[in-house]
């Protein structure tokens, strides 16, 4: 059975529609066999969206490894001022994302791409949202971390969700070798949401730290 980060044109798809609500908005998503979280939006993606909303995600946003497009479509409808782009290595996922954009009234800026390989070389993003393909292996995940940095605008951020059992702590260390600033913005029951940037955000006036957050600075 192929994994969600692969594509098998011979696989029977068994398409179905699922309903989902977020922040009072209703969404309809078409899913099928061979894509991630085919039975409904997963809790990791939900927490990624919650943190993105708290952080005020806007501007040019990339849903990297978008699956059937749920995260990016919800972001496009929920986050004011966001222009969302989608990419995935799986052709079925990219096709589903385009259809789901149409179903939910979002412009389908979808690219079939292994990481950033298929995206315009000049494309830069204010935010990249990533629920990484853990089952593709650590090397593939870490490659996405590294490839994202040069694709961020000067003050751009990468937002990653990952669980401790999937290597969150080692991922934080790896991110610290790539980004100037790595900040844990959510941590509960082993689930981490990590914000990374090329620049260090200024501390709040009168404070040297942001309460409840862990800050890691990379050294180069």
- Between 64-68, 154-158, 198-202, the lowest mean confidence (pLDDT) is in 198-202
pTM: 0.87
Each domain of the chain, given as residue ranges in start order, spans: 41-217
Asked whether 172 and 192 are in contact (CB, 8 A), the reply is yes
d(CA 71, CA 160): 12
CB neighbour list of residue 181: distance below 8 Å, 6 or more residues apart: 196, 197, 199, 200, 201, 215, 216, 217, 218
Among residues 4, 5, 28, the alpha carbon closest in space to that of 18 is found at 28
Distance of CA 21 to the CA centre of its chain: 19
Tokens 């090397």 sit on residue: 139
d(CA 57, CA 45): 15
Asked whether 175 and 168 are in contact (CB, 8 A), the reply is no
41-217, what's its fold? Rossmann fold (3.40.50)
What was the pLDDT predicted at 9? Answer: 53
CA atoms in the 13 A half-sphere facing the CB of 187: 14
d(CA 31, CA 37): 8
User: Is residue 212 over pLDDT 90?
Assistant: no
What was the pLDDT predicted at 34? Answer: 85
User: Is residue 15 over pLDDT 60?
Assistant: yes
CA atoms in the 13 A half-sphere facing the CB of 122: 0
User: Is residue 180 over pLDDT 90?
Assistant: yes
Neighbours of 53 (CB within 10 A): 15
What was the pLDDT predicted at 135? Answer: 86
């Amino acid at each position: 059975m192929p994994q969600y980060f692969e594509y098998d044109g011979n696989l029977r798809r068994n398409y179905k529609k699922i309903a989902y609500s977020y922040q009072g908005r209703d969404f309809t998503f078409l899913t099928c066999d061979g894509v991630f979280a085919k039975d409904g939006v997963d809790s990791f993606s939900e927490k990624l969206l919650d943190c993105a909303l708290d952080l005020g995600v806007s501007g040019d946003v990339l849903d990297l490894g978008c699956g059937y497009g749920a995260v990016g479509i919800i972001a496009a409808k929920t986050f004011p001022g966001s222009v969302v782009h989608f990419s995935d290595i799986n052709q079925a996922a990219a096709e589903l994302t385009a259809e789901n954009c149409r179903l939910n009234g979002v412009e389908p800026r979808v690219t079939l791409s292994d990481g950033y390989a298929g995206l315009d070389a000049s494309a830069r993003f204010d935010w990249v949202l990533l629920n990484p393909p853990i089952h593709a292996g650590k090397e593939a995940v870490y490659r996405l971390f590294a490839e994202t940095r040069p694709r961020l605008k000067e003050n751009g951020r990468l937002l990653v969700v990952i669980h401790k059992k999937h290597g969150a702590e080692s991922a934080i260390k790896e991110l610290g070798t790539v980004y100037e600033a790595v900040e844990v913005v959510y941590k509960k029951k082993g689930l981490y949401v990590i914000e990374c940037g090329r620049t260090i955000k200024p501390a709040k006036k009168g404070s040297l730290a942001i309460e409840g957050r862990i800050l890691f600075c990379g050294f180069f």
